[in-house]
Amino acid sequence: MGFPAMRALAISALALQGACLAIDRDAAPTIEARASWTYLGCYTDNVSGRALPNGEQVPGGTNAMANELCQSTCQADGFTLAGTEYAGECWCGNAIGNGGALSTNPSSLCTMTCKGNAAETCGGPNGLSVYQYGSSSPPTSGTGKRGLAYNNNNPTANAEYANLFAGYSSVSWGYDWGYPSYNLNPSFEFVPMLWGLPSGSDPGWTAAVQTVGTKNILGFNEPDLTYSGSSNILPANAAAGYATYMEPFAGTVKIGMPNVLWNNVGSSSGGNYDSAVWTQYFLGNCTGCHFDFAAIHYYQDCDPADGQSGAAWFQGNVTNAYNTLHLPIWITEFQCYGTDAQQVAFLQTVLPWLDAQSYVARYAYFGVFPDYLVNSAGTGLSDIGMAYATT
Ligand SMILES: *[C@@H]1O[C@H](CO)[C@@H](O)[C@H](O)[C@H]1NC(C)=O
Ligand SMILES: *[C@@H]1O[C@H](CO)[C@@H](O)[C@H](O)[C@H]1NC(C)=O
Ligand SMILES: *[C@@H]1O[C@H](CO)[C@@H](O)[C@H](O)[C@H]1NC(C)=O
């Protein structure tokens, strides 16, 4: 479960989108914000720690600088915030950092006309003229345990489906079976995952873990299974992988155990193990490893044919994982199989229960895709998504 194979396709779509974004040189000089961009205000900036971290070259260089040009450049690179400064600089990011704050005195801070358009203001020596893509006020961060399992396989090759959940207070985090976040709304915590075993040194993974704002990291995706959507790794090899790629970050971020299908019986990772046995062997091999939480998956019928309760089975498995592993539990994928109405009823039963269990730290229902938590058109939440966001 999870769609890592689609990611390569989506990356090339993003590059294409960037190349097609034309610069609107004919725009009337008084128009400072491109369509879908709104002015947030003049922000203080700090040369030793930038309010927006990514300095960008714009087409035509410093002398062509105008706010729209900075916006289109930031947008093509997948950012939601664009800021101009010192008449000719363009800075991009997804959140204001390093203590940058809305100025109480913009007329003395953002004082310089843009080098490419004298009718516009492009910040000042220490002031940033900031514009935001999308909604005019940033959504407030959620605080709940609920998360978004999403990917960038959509028309904008971005986190756009996950971002439909921005502003729901129960939803606080997201992951995409890998990294980067593909522009997940900054009101969510992005949690990078090391999906499978790298073949050598992996500076991209290190950079993802060390990205400002990373607090938690997820390890291998279903190493206990053998099908194509799983990472299929023998316990001893997975343990060696953890020692190399996860353990160095112990103490700086919270480390999750491998994501295993907890209710799986009889599948194999070349060794014909149940997932519980795979986990036992993994722990047996990972002797020096530090874990902050365990990560499990669960898939089963909403209403089993024999009249048993799908919700009770799910709760039984979550409880059993905690009693076995004695770590906070993240359920990084779960879904019950059934009609939309059956899934809604299941969520209405299990979500309050999950929120009430102190040992359940986080969870993510599968998944943030059209016809799952998102409607068929990809334009809003489905009934299941609405139940997930609001129960
Ligand atoms: C400027 O940024 C640096 C680096 O993040 C930080 O140490 C310093 O406190 C900041 N200064 C102000 C005035 O916010
Ligand atoms: C280590 O993992 C291997 C399978 O990869 C298993 O055969 C062995 O028993 C494990 N060792 C321990 C101490 O659990
Ligand atoms: C876990 O789920 C399975 C269904 O996949 C069920 O048969 C089993 O009883 C559940 N375990 C517990 C401890 O409830």
C-alpha to C-alpha distances, 91 to 31, 98, 129, nearest whole angstrom: 19, 14, 10
User: DSSP for 193-253?
Assistant: B--S--SS--HHHHHHHHSTT--EEB--BSTT--STTS----HHHHHHHHHHHTGGGBTTB
User: DSSP for 85-97?
Assistant: ETTTEEEEESS--
- Sign of the four-CA dihedral 378, 383, 384, 388: positive
Does ligand 2 lie within 6 Å of residue 234's CB atom? Answer: yes
pLDDT at 138: 58
Classify domain 4-18+140-390 at the CATH class level: alpha beta
Ligand 2 center to 289 CA (angstroms): 15
Ligand 3: residue whose CA is nearest its atom 5: 263
Does ligand 1 lie within 6 Å of residue 98's CB atom? Answer: yes
Contact call for residues 128 and 88 (beta carbons, < 8 A) = no
Ligand 1 center to 71 CA (angstroms): 25
Please state the atom number of ligand 2 nearest to the C-alpha of residue 287: 13
**How far is residue 391's CA from residue 385's CA, in Å, rounded to a whole number?**
10
Quick one: DSSP state of residue 166? T
Does ligand 3 lie within 6 Å of residue 316's CB atom? Answer: yes
pLDDT at 30: 41
- The backbone torsions φ and ψ at residue 169, rounded to the nearest 5 degrees and listed phi first, read -70, -20
- Sign of the four-CA dihedral 102, 105, 107, 109: negative
Does ligand 3 lie within 6 Å of residue 359's CB atom? Answer: no
**How far is residue 228's CA from residue 345's CA, in Å, rounded to a whole number?**
31
Ligand 3 center to 164 CA (angstroms): 33
Does ligand 1 lie within 6 Å of residue 48's CB atom? Answer: yes
- The backbone torsions φ and ψ at residue 57, rounded to the nearest 5 degrees and listed phi first, read -85, 130
Element of type H or E holding 361 = strand 360-365
Ligand 1: residue whose CA is nearest its atom 13: 46
Ligand 1 center to 100 CA (angstroms): 9
Question: Encoding tokens for residue 127?
Answer: 């002031």
**How far is residue 373's CA from residue 36's CA, in Å, rounded to a whole number?**
25
Please state the atom number of ligand 1 nearest to the C-alpha of residue 98: 5
pLDDT at 378: 85
**How far is residue 157's CA from residue 10's CA, in Å, rounded to a whole number?**
5
In sequence order, which residues have a C-beta less than 8 Å from that of residue 357 and are 6 or more positions away?
318, 319
> Nearest bound ligand to CA 272?
2
Which amino acid makes up residue 268? S
| Tens place of pLDDT per residue across the chain (391 aa) | 444 333 332 322 222 232 223 333 333 334 467 777 888 899 999 888 899 988 988 888 899 999 988 988 887 777 789 999 999 999 998 888 888 899 988 889 999 999 998 889 999 999 999 999 876 555 677 889 999 999 999 887 889 899 888 878 899 999 999 999 998 988 899 999 999 999 999 999 999 999 989 999 999 999 999 888 899 999 999 999 999 999 999 999 999 999 999 999 876 665 567 888 999 999 999 999 999 999 999 999 999 999 899 999 999 999 999 999 999 999 999 999 999 999 999 999 999 999 999 999 999 999 999 999 999 988 778 999 999 999 9
Ligand 3 center to 233 CA (angstroms): 24
Does ligand 2 lie within 6 Å of residue 241's CB atom? Answer: no
Ligand 1 center to 45 CA (angstroms): 9
Show me where the domains of the chain are located.
Answer: 4-18+140-390, 37-133
**How far is residue 355's CA from residue 378's CA, in Å, rounded to a whole number?**
28
pLDDT at 128: 96
> Nearest bound ligand to CA 280?
2
Does ligand 1 lie within 6 Å of residue 46's CB atom? Answer: yes
Give the CA-trace dihedral at 185, 190, 193, 198, to 10 degrees: 80
